[in-house]
Structures are given as structure tokens and as C-alpha cells.
Amino acid sequence: MIKVGCCGFPTSMKRYFENYGLVEINSTFYEYPKLETVERWRRNAPENFEFTVKAHQDISHRLKMKLNEACLQAFEYMKQICKILNSKVLLIQTPGSFRPDRLEDAEKFFINVSREDLALAWETRGPEWCRPDVYDRMRKVLGKLEVVHVTDPLVAMPAFTGKITYFRLHGLGEKLYYYQYSDEELTRLWKLIEPLHEAGKKVYLLFNNLSMFEDGVRFMHYIRSGVFPKVTGSAGLDSVRRVVEKTRYPIPKSTLIRKVGWRLVEIEEGKQIRLVELLEKLPSKSFKTPDELVEEIAKQIEAFPR
């Protein structure tokens, strides 16, 4: 089974529930919600809708998974939230400062917390965790404890999965989250996770980039039909227009690149590029209207290599 969702609600709950059957609640990373609020989340969702929960940063960042009273209390509160939401998975994401030399601390934490029937998923951050020797150590520790290793599969596959796999996709750009996945990248993603699905594992796939809602919907459409819908619903200049008309004018070129340069456009049928490839070739000035901008971009599309 493959379940696709977003990290948080990127749109209204009503629209989200109409398109998705899974969400990761990650507001719980920043603050402890009242249990009455959590009950309302569950009550407002469709009956078969699934929640996963991201653990509060007290556990992972402030207390660094130390087995003290404050950390255990925070974990117990997360468990209460999971029980109300009927969540099967609790995600713990440690910061880049939590390096492999602290794997023993994590092991002690996972051994001693009372997880009951809750699946624990651990997202490590930082390149040091991707070293082969570290992966070997993690595979042994997490396999023994049945703790799922969380990665972005387009960057690295996990050291250990178990009965479930849990992936989070943050984007592949220079700036975290500012990313939109191309058809080619989503096809590669499917090839990476399909064997896990075929092996009978339950695959959780959570998008966590700025275009997460659209990317997740496109990916689910591809799984069902084998084809992708157009990234903007159209091609050519109309594809460009649909992206650039959503910002305020006048706007300088540098701001355009920062705000929408990471987005994809379909300059012709079946050919996607990042808008920055066109914007970088424009004169350095402020554009007063979308029409003025599109007119300038049209010259670049005509000269774009086919």
C-alpha cells in the first residue's frame, strides 16, 4: 500500500480532505495543541482519513532524546495526541547538530520509551548520517528496535524500514522547500518505492516542499493512470502566464527569481523547465505587469534550444 500526503495542511482542510487520505501533523513540532483541538481535527476528518504526528522539538532539539522526566513527559503527551487521532506513526526529526556520535543516546531513548503499539520513525539530518559505516551501525540498531529510518528517497534510501517505510520529500533545490518536482523526478521516485510496495510494505510518502499539494496530487494521478497531468494545466506561454500572474506587480527581476524561479513551466508539450532558466536571461529591471513580463519571456522561449 502506498499512502501519499503532505507535511501539514497547505490548503483548506475541506479541499485537502477531498484530495488526500493522509496528512502529517507537524504543527505539533512547534507547540503542544490542546487535546480538545486534537479531538476536533479527528472529528472534522473523514472516517478513514489517516494522521501521522511529528513529535515536539522538546524531544529532539531541546532535550536531545535524553531520558529525563521532561523528555518522557513530552513523549507521553505526543502519545496522547496519537491516540486521539488514531495515528499509527510518530515521527521524530533530529537536527543537524545531532550527529552519529549520539546514536547511543537515540538507542537508549528508543529502548526505554513506552511506545505501546505506536510505530516510531526517525529522520536524521546532516551528511554524516549517510556514511556507509554509519548506515551499517544504524541498520543494526534500528533493526533490533524496529524503528523506521526516514529519508528522502531521491537523496538516500533508508538504513532500515521494517513493515512500514516513511519518506519525506523536502525538494532538491539549493534552498530547502523551494522546489517543484518534475515529471522525470516523480517517475524516478516511483521506481524507487515500487519495489517496497511490491514487497508488501506500507509506504508513507510525505511531500514537504512549497508545491507539496500539487506535487502530491500529480504523483497520485500518475500511480493511478501512468501519466502526469500538465504541471500548470497548459503549455507554452500560457503555462508561463499561469505562474507569473500570481505575484504582485511591479516586481524586479531579482524578486521574481526568488519567488517563482523554482517553479516549473511547460514551454512546449512534454518539455518542462524551471522558470529561472527564462528569468535569468531577462533584462535587469522591474516589470510593471504580467503582460510585460510574458512578452519578454516570449522572446526567450523562441530562442530556447529545442
Q: What is the pTM for the complete model shown?
A: 0.94
Q: What is the pLDDT of residue 224?
A: 95
2-225 belongs to which CATH class?
alpha beta
E-only strand ranges, the chain:
2-7, 22-25, 50-54, 89-93, 119-123, 147-150, 164-169, 202-207, 251-252, 264-268, 271-274, 286-287
Q: What are phi and psi of 26, to 5 degrees?
A: -115, 5
As given in the structure block, the three cell numbers for residue 269 are: 508539450
Reported as a pLDDT band with limits 50, 70 and 90, residue 251 is very high
Q: What is the pLDDT of residue 304?
A: 61
Of all residues in the chain, the percent with pLDDT exceeding 70 is: 99
Q: What is the pLDDT of residue 300?
A: 77
**pLDDT tens, residue by residue, 213-246:** 999 999 999 999 999 999 999 999 999 999 999 9
Listed by start position, the domains of the chain span 2-225, 237-303
**pLDDT tens, residue by residue, 260-299:** 999 999 988 889 999 999 999 999 999 999 999 999 999 8
Q: What is the pLDDT of residue 303?
A: 64
Determine the average pLDDT of the residues in 78-99: 97
d(CA 303, CA 65): 55
d(CA 260, CA 258): 6
Mean pLDDT of the chain: 95
d(CA 82, CA 55): 10
Terminal-residue alpha carbon distance, the chain: 39
Q: What is the pLDDT of residue 305?
A: 61
**pLDDT tens, residue by residue, 148-195:** 999 999 999 999 999 999 999 999 998 889 999 999 999 999 999 999
